[in-house]
Amino acid sequence: MITENFYVGLIVEGEYPDGLADWCNSQEIPTTIKEIEPKEDGTRRFQVIEVVQPIIFLTEEQFLNNFFEIPSYGYYRKRPKGYADAITSLNTAFNMVQAIGFLPENTLTFYTKPDFTDETQCTEEWLIANQFKNEYMDKDIFMDFFSLAVQAWNIQEHK
C-alpha cells in the first residue's frame, strides 16, 4: 500500500500495512493506529485516528489570558471560534437583537472557571464539557447583558 492511500479514518483488517505507523508519526496533526472491534470471524481491525491532545491551562493566569468574566453570566472566550475577538462576537449578537428584537437561546457560549487545584479541570475538554449557553433574552435583558459584557471587556483589555 502506498502512503498516499493512508488517511485519518482508514480501517485495515488483519495486520496493518508497512509504512502506516511511520505515516502516522510523520503527520502534522498527531495520528495513531487504534485497534477496533474485530470482525465476526475474529479478524483483527485497526483504524487510523487523530490523537486529541488536551490543552492544559497550567495556571489561572493562562485561563484568564483566554477568557474574561461577564459578571452574573460566566466566562467568555476572548477569541470565540469564527470571530476576531469577543467584542466582534458580542456585536454580532447585538445586531441580531436590533434586527429581531431578542437574542435566541443557545446563541452565546459561556464557561465555568476551573478549580485549578484539580488538574482534571484544567483541560479544554473539561471546559467544553462544562460550557453552557445563554437563555432566551428579550431586548431589555440583552441590553443589560451587553452593557455588562462590554464593560467587562473594556476593563480587561485596558488593565
Are 85 and 64 contained in the same domain?
Answer: yes
Confidence of residue 2 (pLDDT cuts 50, 70, 90): very low
pLDDT reported for residue 1? 44
Are 90 and 29 contained in the same domain?
Answer: no
pLDDT reported for residue 109? 96
**Mean pLDDT score of the chain:** 89
Are 75 and 147 contained in the same domain?
Answer: yes
Domain interval for residue 96: 60-157
Q: What value does the mean pLDDT take over residues 126-150?
A: 95
Are 153 and 88 contacting, i.e. CB atoms less than 8 angstroms apart?
no
Query: Positive or negative CA dihedral for 14, 19, 23, 24?
Result: positive
pLDDT reported for residue 53? 65
- Summarised one tens digit per residue, pLDDT across range 33-52 is 999 999 999 999 999 988 87
- Higher-confidence residue of 120 and 58: namely 120
> Total domain count for the chain?
2
Are 81 and 153 contained in the same domain?
Answer: yes
Task: Give rounded-to-5 percent helix, strand, coil for the chain.
Answer: 40, 20, 40
Confidence of residue 19 (pLDDT cuts 50, 70, 90): confident
Q: Which residues contact 68 (CB under 8 A, 6 or more apart)?
A: 75, 76, 78, 86, 152, 153, 156
On whether residue 55 sits in a domain, the answer given is no
Q: What value does the mean pLDDT take over residues 81-109?
A: 95
Are 42 and 116 contained in the same domain?
Answer: no
Confidence of residue 3 (pLDDT cuts 50, 70, 90): low
Least confident range of 11-25, 49-63, 134-148: 49-63
* Predicted confidence (pLDDT) at residue 7 exceeds the cutoff of 60: yes
d(CA 159, CA 19): 53
pLDDT reported for residue 87? 94
Nearest CA-CA partner of 16 in 43, 45, 53: 45
